[in-house]
Amino acid sequence: MSEPIHTRPDISYADYLALDQILSAQRPRSDEHDELLFIVIHQASELWLKLSIHELAAAREQIARDDLGPAFKMISRVSRIQGQLIQSWDVLATMTPSEYHAIRPHLGQSSGFQSHQYRMLEFLMGAKDAAMLAVHEGTAAHADLAAALAAASLYDECVRLLKRRGFDVPAERDWSEVHVADPAIVAAWAVVYRDPEQYWDLYELAEKLVDLEFRFQQWRFAHLKTVERIIGFKPGTGGSSGASYLAKALEGSFFPELFQVRTGL
């Protein structure tokens, strides 16, 4: 006799996506028309950040296993997510300075600077700064962020991969420190770029990372210009310095050797 077919209980679109919870999570603190826009943009961004962390954490694991095919797909997906995040600033930029200042008193000390998911994404990609943990002191996210600070980043795993492939690179270091460009790593990537056919998977990995950083920096730049457009150069909420902090973040690089190598090719 054949086994009975077990069907899942009926589940609706709204139930599957928990729409009741999601759509009731917007709770404006004022009667201002534009506050809902502000809330939705930031909540949607946090969902995209959650997916980005999910994808890049998995990509890091695949690279550690020398299984680069799935990692390529995951990194590319995050690059496309960055496109969505960049476009979100276009929507928020429809808010004028007067409209923002009408809702600003209702924000209290809340600030995007306090986003633990954004910090997690930075740590995962390699922008380590132990001082940033203080922002999250006393929160539920602090322990996870501290663990991420001490763990190998996505790029650290790429450097370890180079070492396993026979390149003379320093593969072990204090993971809690920001990665500083190393001439030996630049030289290793130069070998890859000069002979892409021999090192095709490493070459493709490098280009996936470059695309990821390019998109991430475009997102940061769009954020900066949106802030300048709406509040100018005033300090941000929550104690952040506003536009000046965002501008400084653009000076760094997650994968510095991959940009330095281009100069010598």
Residue ranges at the known binding site for heme: 223
CA distance 42 to 48: 10
What is the Cα 107 distance to its own chain's centre?
24
95: helix, coil or strand?
coil
What is the Cα 20 distance to its own chain's centre?
28
- Judged on CB neighbours under 10 Å (0-12, 13-18, 19+), 52 is buried
Cite the DSSP H helix spans in 93-115.
97-103
Residue ranges at the known binding site: 38-42, 100, 104, 223, 237
CA distance 210 to 91: 26
Residue ranges at the known binding site for substrate: 38-42, 100, 104, 237
